[in-house]
A = this chain, B = another copy of it.
Amino acid sequence: MDKLIITAALTGAEVTREQQPNLPITPDEIAEAAYEAYQAGASLVHVHARKPDGTPTQDIEVYREIKEKVAAKCNIIFQPSTGGAVWHTAEERIQPALLKPEMASLTAGTCNFGPDVFMNTQEYMESFAKVMMENGVKPEIEIFERGMIDNALRMVKKGLLKTPIHFDFVMGVPGAIMGEPRDLMYLANSIPQGSTWTVAGIGRFELPLAVMAIVMGGHVRVGFEDNIFYTKGVVAESNAQLVARIARIAKECGREVAAPDEARQILGLVK
């Protein structure tokens, strides 16, 4: 079994500082949070940019600043979001991929996201995939429902995605796939052999799905984007605190945690 890649999803587009007082918002805060997560065991950081007032932004310059500040601190893999917030246009969303990061997220279909719709039409997906391919960016394919796996495989057939694919199962969003153990088992059995996968359980699903991934050979994403609590009703002190717990459980389970360069190896990234 490969070493465990822990991704820290530090900020997201939805969480506010009212909900989570320790949310990193500015480039400096995000870089610092990335560094702490790295020290706690994360080898990959999934980043959403915010304006100083906390509003989500896909501004390439903000992403550039974060990217540089993170790189100045450690060699963690930098993965900006191309999901943005539900109200961002496709043009805005793809901006950070132009920075040629090692990875970027790419959501492979449309679904409800609570009262909103997270819009990822075939046209969006294909244009995002094309930009990433041209810029040497490895996509992390975000899967909110089973059909999105097939959407990704269709892009493989069209030459827009390379295999092996790295999937991220985002589970427990109201409006998309549930986050019970059997749901993860189903998704993990629905991807082509040779693929790699991470699970990002939302809210109360984060921890149990992470634990299952550890023993099933998947990888784990935690962080304030997905879950702001450390235990029921208790907000986490930091993203690093959530990362550290996963690292401890992995160690107890006899699964080693990947350093960034080991994660690059597993994901087929050329540094």
Contacts and interface: CB of A to CB of B under 8 A. Distances in A.
Interface string A226-237: 000001100000
A158 interface: no
* A interface residue count range (under 10 / 10 to 19 / 20 to 34 / 35 or more): 35 or more
A109 B112 CA distance: 6
Contacts of A98: none
Interface string A129-148: 00000000000000011110
A117 interface: yes
Residue from A147, A216, A231, A248 whose CB has the most chain B CB atoms within 10 Å: A147
Contact of A189 (B182, B208, B252): B182
Nearest to A147: B176
A247 to B, nearest CB: 11
A245 B249 contact: no
Contact of A146 (B115, B177, B181): B177
25 contacts: A109-B111, A110-B110, A110-B111, A110-B112, A110-B117, A111-B111, A112-B120, A112-B121, A112-B151, A117-B117, A117-B121, A122-B175, A145-B147, A146-B178, A149-B178, A150-B178, A151-B175, A181-B185, A181-B216, A207-B215, A207-B253, A208-B253, A211-B212, A211-B214, A212-B215
